[in-house]
Structure 1
Amino acid sequence: MKKIVFLVLSAFILLFIGCTTDKDLNSSSEKSTTAKLQDPVTIKPDVIVVGGGLAGCTAALRASELGARVVLFEQSDKLGGSANTAGGSISGAGFKMQKEAGIEDSPDKFYNDFITMGGGEKNLNKVIARKHAEESGNAIDWLQDYVGVKFNGKVDSGGYLTMNTNRVTYTAGGAASGGARYFLEAIYSKLDEFVKKGTTQLFVNSKVESLLFNKNKDVIGVVMNGKEYKAPSVIIATGGYGYSEKWLKEFNFTNITSNDPNTAIGSGYDFARSAGAALDNMDYCSCYGGSVPVSGFQASLRCNINYNGAIWVNTSGERLFNEPVASSMDKRTVWRTTDQNIVYIIVSEKMISDDKPLFSGMMSNSKPFDNKEKLNELLSEGKYAFKADTISELSKMINTKNLVNTVTKYNSDIASGKDTVFGRTKNLLAFDKGPYYAIYTVPYLMMTAGGPRINADGQLMRADGSKVGNCYLAGEIIGSANVAGHNTIGGIGHSLCTTWGRISAESAVKNSLVLKK
């Protein structure tokens, strides 16, 4: 079992806080999450935290700050989870930087945005949505004032579905990939203080296999590597299930690829289910369109679904939307709800331009590919790209019964100057000269949105309204949809981690003190 040792890094971390470049940041984060020492669990914990991503580390730090003895188990070989590569955005209401920018906001306004933008109160858990709105600003202030996270001071409405009030801010690393490392480095530095004191231990390569229960079905600890570890309180901060084909296919998709960390295997959902917890909003999952599944479940190649002149068709060969004006919400709805989650991108040879990439990689490897080279590669494989001189031949290749009629109608509408099906007015290019291409795409995701039910204290709940004793949740596992409804708003992911990391830690410590009396 491996323990993270921050002792040898103290001087380095202090230097980092003073001045750091992005290159230095990447290097220091790697060092702070790979310095290890063989060491057993030597303390009797008040709180066990399962999961060492941003939520778990936040919970461990807050519990340590409140005087608890804490043991954290992380299944992978380093801490940080998805925050190692994520951008540095976070949202909240009423935090200091927001006030200093002259922005008037309140928890009520934030909560009302959840309702308005998320499709109504029916799509969220009103209790935890309001609690999140009330505590999210405090979490950002805590990160800035106590933890020492460096922010760039910018406050805006965020990406994705923009909010009506500017309440998204950013670390010094900004919204770009890697920006979230600024959260991690500051938290690691503070955790170091408690590691030095001997009240906190952090373990990697330590996969929790199950929860321990008493006869009343209260949680009393965990099983890790076949050994029992008991504590008065347990916090589950294992992330979502975005890298679990089992969970995704049970609730959300027939075909899907994932850009989630490979640690997001849904273990916390397994734990919650074993405790009899209710699961909410599991049928909703945000996604993105255009993944070409050349690497199987792992998302690695993206087709430019907004390509000039392209149309989208389903497995029957029918168009799905007014392609050029589709919002991010429209796109995810198309790929999430269409038959088998399969959408073909149809283009002609004359639409393809060398200066406009048709394919690119994903995330940190998002460079564009040469159109001819990538098309030829995919065509030779014969699975995800198809080429024919006529639409009729192309339709047979992808087994779509209505593609010929769809394209005939589309060409006729273009000739008359009006798309009578979806009202498209932009990039109206006829499919009047081959060869033609069909690119097979499915959705890809970067986080999941449903989760086990909790109350305002972060405590796990059953469908009958009873509490699962001594068990609390933090982070993505809570489910962004349970807080913000059916949408994706800027900064919600890190806000779930830090807001509920604090709330659950406070509840867990309080519970531990009660049980120890």
Structure 2
Amino acid sequence: MSNSVEADLVVVGGGLAGFCAALAGAESGLSVLLLEKTDAIGGSSAMSGGCLAFAGTDLQQEYGIEDSPETLYQDLVKVGKGEADESLVRAYTDLQLDTYEWLRKHGVEFQPVIEAASGQSVPRVHSVDPADMVRQLEKAARATGKVDVRFNIRARRLIRNAAGRVTGLTATSNGEELTITGDKGVVLASGGFVKDQDMIHRFAPLYDNAVFIGGEGNEGDGLRMAWALGADVRDMVHIKGTFGKHPMDEMNHHACLAVYKGAVAVNQEGKRYVDESLSYKLLGDACMQQSYGVTYQILDRGIMESGDNRVRILDFERRLEEGLFVEAESLQELAKLLELPEDVFLAEVEAYNQAVADNEAPEFERKHLVHEHGELRTISEPPFYAYPSTAAVFGTYCGVKVDPTMQVFDVFEEPIEGLLAAGEMVGGFHGAAYMTGSALGKAAVFGRIAAMTAAA
């Protein structure tokens, strides 16, 4: 490789946001150089649960699900608890349906939409094989003849010209220093920082003892590069883990969310401690504040059978086959197996069941299965099950301040010309909590927007 490489647009990161930006840039006529820090594409995107939040699709209509961009907008704003930048939410909802069709055109296959999930007032989980989705976009990008993908290159510093515009970056590859130029700018799509323990501690010490799962390259490189130019940040205080990760299972990275089918969450003292219908990011916060940061999802046979093997977070039968559930013929036996105070635990489940039977909200004012969807059910049909659960940080969901064109802004609210961001690098979109599917969704939508801005 030459020590100097040029392209119209430089994209940093080979996950979903990066390849959406690269492909959209190529479709706009730009030559694109995509840099991947590791030796493989996918990053955290490929390790995700494969859920994207879209509204108004044909897959929803097939099941009679009434949804719209406006309903999606209202849900995202509500879940964000007033902390989300509503202009970013609007940018997402305006382009999400077109992006869904664009992904399908490029070979991405979606499963039927039948489940509502965290933060959704109606079912809008559009599930994919996430690794295959990135592969399809890589294939489409390479097929344009305008995208050059290079591996094992670590971006180091952004380069500005005399006028202050970002025109490229320096990088290293196998110990060699490189200068990479992008006349139309640089898109930072390099993910978050789940692999940098010091940075996690700086912004989210509550999660020091959580499980961290993400792409090996997610060490905050893009964030540091933007900081060096004075970039502002958003949502750093809202870093949260996802509830439902089994603390002892090293093979299965995904959360299990039986609470969204009617299970209750109890702590080591045998007591419920939260409204289980909340965003699983807020459930993660609540879990990490309990003894040892590990709690249990308690369910019965009916809830077990209501799982869905097409949705990873609801694939209860597979987890049961893998031996991850604790199973018992009675709640008393379950309490003994979990070493919970039996009298406290039994009273807690009895009080919950009685409230549900009386059509009253149980303690913590739980009213639905998930968000505002689904009727509560009792936990009364043996056998009974418990799923040990902690919080796993799958992504940091915070990052640089951008406007709806994905232009990065500095701490004085001035644009850093030529610098764009997409995906997990972007702050301000989620706010205080998170809707299932909005992370992969924003990676796709914002990746496209960043490329469109560069081309314009």
Contact preservation (8 Å) 1:74, 1:203? yes
Q: CA deviation at 1:245?
A: 1.5
Whole-Å separation in 2 of the counterparts to 1:440 and 1:141: 39
Relative to structure 1, the CA distance from residue 410 to residue 221 in structure 2 (aligned partners, 3 Å threshold; closer, same or farther) is: same
Query: 1:68 maps to what in 2?
Result: 30
Query: 1:249 maps to what in 2?
Result: 201
Output aligned runs, 1:368-387, within 5 Å: none
Q: CA deviation at 1:56?
A: 0.5
Question: Structure 1: which 5+ runs fail to align?
Answer: 1-38, 170-174, 348-355, 357-361, 374-388, 395-402, 429-438, 511-517
**2:71 is the counterpart of 1:125:** no
DSSP-derived class of the 1:75 partner: coil
Q: CA deviation at 1:219?
A: 1.9
Whole-Å separation in 1 of the counterparts to 2:52 and 2:23: 18
Residue identity opposite 1:125 in structure 2: D
Q: CA deviation at 1:442?
A: 4.8
Q: How many residues align?
A: 407
2:234 pairs with one of 262, 265, 280: 280
**2:17 is the counterpart of 1:82:** no
TM-score (norm 1): 0.64
Whole-Å separation in 2 of the counterparts to 1:87 and 1:440: 19
Q: Deviations over 1:63-109 (max 9, x none)?
A: 11111111110001111223434444322345565567776654333
Task: Please give the root-mean-square deviation of Cα atoms over the aligned residues, in Å.
Answer: 4.7
Query: 2:411 maps to what in 1?
Result: 463
Residue identity opposite 1:160 in structure 2: S
Contact preservation (8 Å) 1:96, 1:141? no
Output aligned runs, 1:126-165, within 5 Å: 126-145=86-105, 147-152=106-111, 154-156=112-114, 158-164=116-122
Q: CA deviation at 1:129?
A: 0.9
1:192 pairs with one of 142, 152, 158: 142
Q: Deviations over 1:13-62 (max 9, x none)?
A: xxxxxxxxxxxxxxxxxxxxxxxxxx558863110000011111111111
Residue identity opposite 2:156 in structure 1: E
Contact preservation (8 Å) 1:50, 1:234? yes
Query: 1:258 maps to what in 2?
Result: 212
Relative to structure 1, the CA distance from residue 49 to residue 413 in structure 2 (aligned partners, 3 Å threshold; closer, same or farther) is: closer
Whole-Å separation in 1 of the counterparts to 2:364 and 2:50: 38
Q: Deviations over 1:366-406 (max 9, x none)?
A: 67666899xxxxxxxxxxxxxxx9x9xx9xxxxxxxx9xx9
Q: CA deviation at 1:507?
A: 0.7
Residue identity opposite 2:455 in structure 1: V
Residue identity opposite 2:99 in structure 1: A
Output aligned runs, 1:162-181, within 5 Å: 162-164=120-122, 166-169=123-126, 175=127, 179-181=129-131
Query: 1:224 maps to what in 2?
Result: 171
Q: Which of the pair has the greater relative contact order for Cα pairs under 8 Å at 6+ separation?
A: 2
Whole-Å separation in 2 of the counterparts to 1:507 and 1:321: 46
Query: 2:420 maps to what in 1?
Result: 472
Question: Structure 2: which 5+ runs fail to align?
Answer: 298-303, 305-311, 327-335, 356-361, 367-376, 381-386
Query: 1:398 maps to what in 2?
Result: none
**2:264 is the counterpart of 1:312:** no
Contact preservation (8 Å) 1:258, 1:299? no
TM-score (norm 2): 0.72
Q: CA deviation at 1:161?
A: 3.0
Contact preservation (8 Å) 2:63, 2:113? yes
Query: 2:73 maps to what in 1?
Result: 111
DSSP-derived class of the 1:130 partner: helix
Query: 2:276 maps to what in 1?
Result: 326
Residue identity opposite 1:275 in structure 2: L
Contact preservation (8 Å) 2:43, 2:216? no
Contact preservation (8 Å) 1:75, 1:205? yes
Q: CA deviation at 1:300?
A: 6.8
Residue identity opposite 1:255 in structure 2: N
Output aligned runs, 1:404-483, within 5 Å: 442-479=390-427, 482-483=428-429
Q: Deviations over 1:235-259 (max 9, x none)?
A: 0001122222222211122322112
**2:1 is the counterpart of 1:49:** no
Q: Deviations over 1:305-333 (max 9, x none)?
A: 98x998414xxx795616xx733537844
**2:186 is the counterpart of 1:234:** yes
Residue identity opposite 2:401 in structure 1: R
Whole-Å separation in 2 of the counterparts to 1:185 and 1:414: 46
Relative to structure 1, the CA distance from residue 41 to residue 250 in structure 2 (aligned partners, 3 Å threshold; closer, same or farther) is: same
Whole-Å separation in 1 of the counterparts to 2:243 and 2:43: 24
Contact preservation (8 Å) 1:56, 1:501? yes
Whole-Å separation in 2 of the counterparts to 1:148 and 1:102: 25
DSSP-derived class of the 2:195 partner: coil
Relative to structure 1, the CA distance from residue 291 to residue 117 in structure 2 (aligned partners, 3 Å threshold; closer, same or farther) is: closer
